[in-house]
């Protein structure tokens, strides 16, 4: 991909130079972190975004940070205000961060005008305006008025044609990719052209959510190991008992088509051979480990035999891509499958990419991040990228 980078603006050989002194730079970051009780539950995306912000500050830029948080659907929602992230961002980039209570308009422009070289201003949630997700030209123009140059560092939204990812680009004098976005593209490209064998681990609730990537990986991977609730749609397609487990009846034929594509391309498709089951999705519900799910019971995690098998495959792989939990990871009673797979991926000598909220949460909770080659901040974006699809945010920068 021929995408301009920060290095095109900054001569790193001149350590004390400030080539962007006085330049207003609008940065589209991905600060869409999970919240619990109004507090940050996982700051991975904030930490991942700070490299670009620090580099711009050191170059003397006046940095304007924009992002979304959650899905406020074009309405102001204090529970999704980026003000909740201000202190954490300030701590990470080790400088005070100013805050604008809107992301456009006269008050925002006034705060931008008051910035000095190396200072940082955090804008309010972009998605408080419908113009963001609808990619309205007028909203994109208001964002463009704030800055001289633009940097997209939000790989997690690169698959969205929004005002802050695509609409603003042609309105700016110069645009570039931030360090995080560049790194994501480089590392995920290694999954598209992998050292083999390539093991892809996919979990999550619905086949429908990941049907495209299932089809693509069935044709490209050497092994495709499936966990989470979507495994039960595949097992049902094979005619195996699934009890009260979550099954998508309208995706049975799609599951069969994925399995057929895998067989035709020589990809081994692995499904759980044992399960952690309960009669209800309750952390206090009695559990059993079974090979066949009885009537009235639901599979809520892969069993230990399956988890060990998936971990062994990780040890034999040369490239690993993992997205999605193996069970109801947020409940301790059904977290062991995901944790075992996390351990197996971390212990492998393969080049490994892990993405998706719960997968990253498992890695972070077990302090295994340093053993993973790349922790991807892009859930849906990474899935679309490894399908070989065009991501609008990247295409805008290329053009």
Q: Which 3-state string (H, E, C) describes 373-392?
A: CEECCCCHHHHHHHCCCCCH
40 within a domain of the structure (yes/no): yes
What letters, b where the CB count within 10 A reaches 16 and e where it falls short, cover 224-237? bbbbbbbbbbbbbb
Tokens of residue 306, six digits:
């399956």
* Residue 66, domain CATH: 3.40.50.1260
291 within a domain of the structure (yes/no): yes
Torsion of CA 255, 256, 258, 262, to 10 degrees: 140
250, 143: one domain: no
Q: Give yes or no for a contact between 44 and 372, defined as CB atoms under 8 angstroms apart.
A: no
Domain boundary among 178, 202, 221: 178
The pLDDT of residue 16:
57
258 within a domain of the structure (yes/no): yes
The pLDDT of residue 41:
86
Cβ neighbour number for residue 305 with a 10 Å cutoff: 14
Q: What is the distance between the alpha carbons of residues 270 and 306, in angstroms, rounded to a whole number? A: 9
Query: Greater confidence, 263 or 363?
Result: 263
Dihedrals phi, psi of 134, to nearest 5 degrees: -90, 0
The pLDDT of residue 47:
93
Q: How far is CA 233 from CA 70, 224, 258, 290, 380, in A?
A: 29, 15, 12, 18, 21
Q: Residue holding tokens 């895998």?
A: 262
Please state whether 60 falls in left (phi above 0), alpha (psi between -120 and 50) or beta: left
Q: Which residue in 390, 336, 330, 388 sits closest to 357, CA to CA?
A: 330
214 within a domain of the structure (yes/no): yes
What share of the chain in percent tops pLDDT 70?
98
Is residue 100's pLDDT more than 80?
Answer: yes
273, 174: one domain: no
pLDDT-derived band at 330, boundaries 50, 70, 90: confident
Active site residues: 45, 206, 357, 380
pLDDT in tens, 149-183: 999 999 999 999 999 999 999 999 999 999 999 99
The pLDDT of residue 181:
96
- Number of structural domains (the chain) is 2
Q: What is the distance between the alpha carbons of residues 87 and 29, in angstroms, rounded to a whole number? A: 16
Q: Which residue in 208, 206, 161 sits closest to 28, CA to CA?
A: 161
pLDDT in tens, 107-149: 999 999 999 999 999 999 999 999 999 999 999 999 999 999 9
202, 173: one domain: no
161, 216: one domain: no
347 within a domain of the structure (yes/no): yes
32, 127: one domain: yes
185 within a domain of the structure (yes/no): no
Domain boundary among 119, 154, 178: 178
161, 225: one domain: no
Cα angle at 65 between 59 and 71, to 5 degrees? 155
The pLDDT of residue 44:
87
209, 86: one domain: no
30, 95: one domain: yes
pLDDT in tens, 285-324: 999 999 999 999 999 999 999 999 999 999 999 999 999 9
Domain boundary among 178, 210, 229: 178
220, 304: one domain: yes
Q: Give yes or no for a contact between 251 and 233, defined as CB atoms under 8 angstroms apart.
A: yes
264, 134: one domain: no
Q: How far is CA 397 from CA 156, 182, 280, 301, 348, in A?
A: 15, 11, 48, 41, 35
300, 347: one domain: yes
Tokens of residue 54, six digits:
């620090």
This prediction's pTM: 0.89
Q: What is the distance between the alpha carbons of residues 190 and 201, in angstroms, rounded to a whole number? A: 16
Query: Does a cis peptide bond (omega within 30 degrees of 0) precede residue 197?
Result: yes
Q: Which residue in 69, 93, 92 sits closest to 79, CA to CA?
A: 69
Torsion of CA 124, 125, 126, 129, to 10 degrees: -100
Reduced to 3 states (helix: H, G, I; strand: E, B; else coil), residue 352 is strand
Is residue 361's pLDDT more than 90?
Answer: no
pLDDT in tens, 235-270: 999 999 999 999 999 999 999 999 999 999 999 999
85, 129: one domain: yes
The pLDDT of residue 365:
86
Q: What is the distance between the alpha carbons of residues 195 and 351, in angstroms, rounded to a whole number? A: 8
391 within a domain of the structure (yes/no): no
Averaged confidence pLDDT in the chain: 94
Cα angle at 89 between 83 and 93, to 5 degrees? 150
Domain extent at residue 52: 6-178
Q: Which residues pair with 49 in a beta bridge?
A: none
Give burial (CB, 10 Å; 0-12/13-18/19+) of 381: buried
Cα angle at 254 between 252 and 259, to 5 degrees? 95
pLDDT-derived band at 15, boundaries 50, 70, 90: low
Contacts of 73 (CB under 8 A, 6+ apart): 127, 130
150 within a domain of the structure (yes/no): yes
């Amino acid at each position: 991909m021929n995408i301009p980078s920060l290095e095109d603006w900054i001569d790193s050989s001149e350590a004390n130079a400030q080539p962007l002194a006085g330049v207003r730079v609008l940065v589209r970051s991905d600060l869409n972190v999970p919240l619990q009780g109004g507090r940050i539950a996982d700051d991975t995306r904030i930490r991942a975004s700070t490299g670009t912000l620090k580099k711009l500050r050191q170059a003397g830029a006046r940095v304007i940070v924009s992002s979304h948080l959650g899905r406020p659907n074009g309405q102001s929602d204090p529970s999704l205000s980026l003000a909740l992230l201000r202190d954490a961002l300030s701590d990470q980039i080790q400088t005070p961060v100013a805050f604008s209570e809107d992301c456009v308009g006269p008050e925002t422009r006034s705060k931008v005008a008051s910035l000095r070289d190396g200072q940082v201003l955090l804008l309010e949630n972009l998605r408080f305006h419908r113009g963001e997700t609808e990619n309205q030209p007028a909203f994109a123009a208001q964002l463009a008025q704030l800055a001289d140059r633009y940097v997209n560092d939000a790989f997690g939204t690169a698959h969205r044609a929004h005002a802050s990812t695509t609409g603003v680009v042609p309105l700016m004098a110069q645009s570039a990719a931030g360090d995080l976005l560049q790194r994501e593209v480089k590392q995920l490209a290694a999954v598209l052209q992998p050292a083999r064998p390539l093991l892809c681990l996919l979990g999550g609730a619905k086949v429908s959510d990941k049907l495209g990537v299932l089809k693509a990986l069935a044709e490209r991977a050497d092994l495709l190991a499936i966990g989470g609730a979507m495994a039960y749609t595949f097992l049902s397609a094979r005619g195996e008992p699934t009890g009260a487990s979550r099954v998508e009846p309208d995706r049975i034929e799609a599951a069969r088509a994925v399995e057929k594509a895998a067989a035709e391309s020589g990809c081994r498709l692995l499904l759980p051979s044992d399960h952690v089951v309960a009669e209800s999705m309750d952390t206090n519900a009695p559990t059993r480990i079974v090979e066949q799910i009885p009537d009235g019971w639901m599979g809520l995690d892969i069993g230990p035999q399956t988890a060990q098998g998936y971990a062994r495959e990780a040890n034999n792989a040369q490239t690993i891509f993992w997205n999605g939990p193996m069970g109801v990871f947020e409940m301790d009673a059904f977290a062991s499958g995901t944790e075992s797979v996390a351990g197996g991926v971390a212990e492998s000598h393969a080049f490994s990419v892990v993405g998706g909220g719960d997968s990253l949460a498992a890695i972070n909770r077990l302090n295994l991040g340093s053993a993973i080659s790349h922790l991807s901040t892009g859930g849906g974006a990474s899935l679309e990228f490894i399908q070989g699809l065009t991501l609008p945010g990247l295409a805008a920068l290329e053009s």
